[in-house]
Amino acid sequence: MKLLFLELQGKGDIKGMLTNTKLSIKIRGYTETNKTAANGTVTNGTASNGTDSKQYVRFNRLGIRLKIEGGRFQLDNLFNGDPVLGQVGNQVINDNSRLFLDELIPGLERNLSRLFTEIVNNLLRTATIDEMFPEKV
């Protein structure tokens, strides 16, 4: 990553404290119908020999937008562990946290979107719409 005039290199942990952070999620989904045939096979869609039909909710990618006002960061192992260059690199990052965040946020949004979509779809994989939204509570 290049920040101002420094080419930041290293592989290690990042710690940070974010201030005034907001996360917006836009969810788009669809229903999927699985039909169980008389012989016990399950198909997606319109099986003409289906005896039992269940609807499930599935989600496309969840759209995530982050708004982060500022932050303080500590990146470990910058410049292959050189302590002097690492301290200078962290100082430059923290003095220019807005630039650092502007570089970081798009990747965070993409990865959180992918991860949350996967988690939600796995959690709801076997829950039918009727189970999620029963007519009588």
pLDDT, tens only, 35-94: 765 555 555 655 455 556 889 989 988 999 999 999 999 999 888 888 998 898 899 899
DSSP class of residue 12? -
Strands 50-59 and 42-44 come out as unpaired
Delimit the domains of the chain by residue range. 2-26+62-132
Name the residue with higher pLDDT: 7 or 112: 112
Mean pLDDT of 13-38: 87
Confidence of residue 137 (pLDDT cuts 50, 70, 90): low
DSSP for 62-116, written as a single string:
PEEEEEEEEEEEEETTBGGG-HHHHHHHHHHHHHTHHHHHHHHHHHHHHHHHHHH
Name the residue with higher pLDDT: 51 or 110: 110
* pLDDT value for 3: 55
Flag whether pLDDT at 122 surpasses 80.
Answer: yes
* Domain 2-26+62-132 bears CATH identifier 3.15.10.30: yes
CA angle 92, 73, 65 (to 5 degrees): 110
Confidence of residue 135 (pLDDT cuts 50, 70, 90): confident
Contacts of 131 (CB under 8 A, 6+ apart): none
